[in-house]
Structure 1
Amino acid sequence: MYFLFAPPETLGDGVLLAWLAFWTVAARLTFTFFIIPWNAIAAEFSDDYVERTSIITYRYMVGWAGGLAFTFFTWSFLFPNTEEYPAGQLNPEYYSTFGLIVCGLCILWALVSAYGTRKEIAYLQQPVNPTPPFSLKRAFDEVILALKSANFRLIFVIFLMFSGLAGVGGVFDIYMNTYFWEFTPDELRWFVLAVFGAIAAFATVPALQRLIDKHTLLQWFLAAYMVLAIMKVCFRFWDVWPENGDPMLLYLLVIHASAMTYLITTCGIMFGSMMADLMDEQELATGRRQEGVFSSAISLSAKATSSLGLVIGGFLLDYVISFPTRAALGSVDDQTLFLLAFNDGVAIPALFFIPIFLMSKMTMTRSRLVEIQLALAERRQLSLAQSKKLSQDAIRNFSRD
């Protein structure tokens, strides 16, 4: 990860592209070895419909706390403004230090998270039948088996689109904040106050989830997220927001970011909790839980489409928006800024309509999960009874011999 932010200065364009491609793939591949089991294990901590949501909520809570603390630290200390770079985030000299710190924190947090779950190993579900050895054919068969689940196919496609759209939007963030809204690092650091939106999500999700099914809640909140994302830029086009440089603009956009954070955090929690429910459904249908397969498929879709989103975002910047390279503050013309804002704030968010529509096709409900878990409990008891009987028969036969 460090090498992504600290390429040698002497590299030409072609070699630089190869450098970035190699280290991007390497970083994502190594992270995959952690994130797949990290996601898969969540489904094994509880069988309860509501408690699963609480577990995912705690995960998000810790993630938000660490992420926002680092964001505040970054904008406050890592990207100071200078005379040459009034917007410190445009100074290339700071990024090698940024990359080193990010790399160290990722390694540390992965180790802490893995070590902290060791005591739960004894309580995790164990396979009743022997697990067959790994092979490429078996891996392929497992993926095909997982994709036979209609609900999982829907979740897979929904997350595929969501990650792709988020990847495109991520390309535009620094350009929007720097050139469209004209925020400095001193102002950007205050967006960490959006953590109050996450806190509100952590506080309200348990109550909401007791009243509303997960996929319905996810659908409603994703729709609200889409509307708020479009309103943010449209309010500038309609002269609703104060002018750039007015302190009130920062206050209002921090409030807006808090609302967006509340919605997207709730969506993320619901998504993680729904994945655990689908694994129960898969076990009933096939006899296999496939936590690892589900997690790896979702992880692959997120990485592949978010990477594709970055490519699409770069294409839009170069060939649709025609954004100038190394542009100074205040030097970008109004037409270019309009195209930047329209793509980031209207065209891309509007495409969230597709995953919102697909979410309405989900069939996993609270009552359906109860039926599934009752059937699984009966099957497990029968399997254990049969295993016990076989063991007793083997002991008796051995005694006779």
Structure 2
Amino acid sequence: MTQDYNDRSRLISYAHFFAWSGGNFMNIAMFFIVFPLFVTGSMSEAVSSRAPYTAYGVIASVLIFISIMVSSAGTHSRIPTLYSPPQQRKLTVPKIFKEIFETLANRSFVSIFAASMLGAMGLGLKASLHLYFVSYFWEFTPAETGYLSIGIFLSAFIGFKIAPFVSERMGKKNGAIIVGLVAFVAAPIPICMRLFDMLPANGDPIIFWFNLIFGIVDLGLIICFNILVASMLADLAEQSELETGRRSEGILAAAITFAKKSVQGLGVLMASFVLTLAQFPKGVSVDDVSDQAIWDLGAYFVPIVTAIYLVMIGALTSYKLSKEDFEENLRRLQDRTITEHRQ
């Protein structure tokens, strides 16, 4: 929809802002509406009950369907501004796979592909253990957990605003690496401070406010990182067209999505591994979990998730497309188009 280097980051910022905000709306509904309707006790009781999740699944399915239809209808008017598809060709199965391989055999794409796989693994690990941390490690109430989720709206706004700025000032690759290092290395700091008794006891208001403010800023940086990486991927479309003669945005995006979905389950498996190492009991209240198991949960989680994200950042260093390269690719494609029209 745009061929401007920085405008792509701005456009993708909007997509991520609404994606995070919409998804977070459902998260808040879970804690403020669904959980209170079915459970009146502690957070640990709520997350171990089946009924809230059944209701949530039905509500979420309906809203997801509505959002898909609204998004499709809302973007229909943009179709004339998109690239026209090439003339139909007769393709054999070997030819199809050959063209897919040609498109994906790009060093910069492999860099993003590897980083996306590692990022999805880390996300699966964090998401699977999130309720364990808010319920047992921090002992937040359902209301407090819901208020933490409200902070995600501010995080989405922070990422939305700073990603284009970082793209212009640092470039996408350098910006993603610097912002990513700060965000992902800093993310476990609250857990580490709790492990080393640098925070007040659970229940103190300072615990909630510290996690809220720290989480808003850190997640905002993570969203900024995700926007920059998505924009880096979009910039590969012209390079791929220059090398193969075909526009392949669909293949590039589909490959990344496939990698994320297929590997995220490994993060869930790793979460089970962490719980096993910590000897964490199943389906019990906070009072029935030993202090040692809770401490071990944080102690095993922090180094594992940090290592995953550091390797992910390292993978991005192999990305080679700069702003100058991107603009040169556009110029060469324009020259090619002019030459073809003259022939």
* TM-score between the two structures when normalised by the length of structure 1: 0.81
Q: Are positions 1:377 and 2:334 aligned together?
A: yes
| Aligned counterparts, 1:264-303, within 5 A | 264-303=222-261
3-state SS of the aligned residue for 1:190? helix
Picking from 5, 25, 35, the partner of 1:69 is 25
Q: Is this contact kept in 2: 1:280–1:372, CA < 8 A?
A: yes
Equivalent position amino acid for 2:133 in 1:
M
Alpha-carbon distance in structure 2 between the residues aligned to 1:324 and 1:226:
28
Q: In the superposition, relative to structure 1, how do residues 333 and 100 fare at CA in structure 2: closer, same or farther (>3 Å)?
A: same
Q: Is this contact kept in 2: 1:142–1:293, CA < 8 A?
A: no
Picking from 165, 169, 183, the partner of 2:126 is 169
Q: In the superposition, relative to structure 1, how do residues 206 and 94 fare at CA in structure 2: closer, same or farther (>3 Å)?
A: same
Q: Is this contact kept in 2: 1:193–1:254, CA < 8 A?
A: yes
Equivalent position amino acid for 1:170 in 2:
A
Alpha-carbon distance in structure 1 between the residues aligned to 2:224 and 2:10:
11
3-state SS of the aligned residue for 1:352? helix
Count of residues paired in the alignment: 340
| Aligned counterparts, 1:34-73, within 5 A | 45-73=1-29
Q: Are positions 1:321 and 2:278 aligned together?
A: yes
Q: Are positions 1:180 and 2:137 aligned together?
A: yes
Shift of 1:358: 2.1
Detail structure 1 runs of 4+ shifted over 3 Å in the superposition: 83-87, 133-136
* 1:37-82 Cα distance to aligned partner (Å, 9 max, x none): xxxxxxxx11110111111011112122222222222211110242
3-state SS of the aligned residue for 1:183? coil
Equivalent position amino acid for 1:107 in 2:
F
Q: Is this contact kept in 2: 1:53–1:270, CA < 8 A?
A: yes
User: In structure 2, what is the equivalent of residue 311 of structure 1?
Assistant: 269
Alpha-carbon distance in structure 2 between the residues aligned to 1:84 and 1:126:
56
Equivalent position amino acid for 1:97 in 2:
A
Shift of 1:367: 0.8
Alpha-carbon distance in structure 1 between the residues aligned to 2:44 and 2:173:
45
User: In structure 1, what is the equivalent of residue 105 of structure 2?
Assistant: 148
User: In structure 1, what is the equivalent of residue 56 of structure 2?
Assistant: 98
Q: Is this contact kept in 2: 1:87–1:184, CA < 8 A?
A: no
Larger radius of gyration: 1
Alpha-carbon distance in structure 2 between the residues aligned to 1:313 and 1:211:
37
Equivalent position amino acid for 2:70 in 1:
V
RMSD: 1.8
Gaps of 5+ in 1: 1-44, 387-401
Shift of 1:325: 1.1
Gaps of 5+ in 2: none
Q: Percent identical across equivalent pairs? A: 26
Q: Is this contact kept in 2: 1:72–1:189, CA < 8 A?
A: yes
Q: Larger relative CO (CA 8 A, sep 6+): 1 or 2? A: 2
Alpha-carbon distance in structure 1 between the residues aligned to 2:124 and 2:88:
37
Q: Is this contact kept in 2: 1:177–1:183, CA < 8 A?
A: yes
Greater shift, 75-84 or 267-276, is seen at 75-84
Shift of 1:85: 7.3
* 1:269-322 Cα distance to aligned partner (Å, 9 max, x none): 11111111011111111111211111111011000110122123223323x222
Q: Are positions 1:330 and 2:318 aligned together?
A: no
* 1:87-146 Cα distance to aligned partner (Å, 9 max, x none): 42332211110100111111111111111111111111124x523256543442233112
Alpha-carbon distance in structure 2 between the residues aligned to 1:312 and 1:350:
13
Alpha-carbon distance in structure 2 between the residues aligned to 1:362 and 1:70:
35
Greater shift, 166-175 or 47-56, is seen at 166-175
Alpha-carbon distance in structure 1 between the residues aligned to 2:93 and 2:315:
32
Shift of 1:194: 3.2
Alpha-carbon distance in structure 1 between the residues aligned to 2:78 and 2:91:
25
* TM-score between the two structures when normalised by the length of structure 2: 0.94
Alpha-carbon distance in structure 1 between the residues aligned to 2:80 and 2:24:
34
Alpha-carbon distance in structure 2 between the residues aligned to 1:120 and 1:113:
12
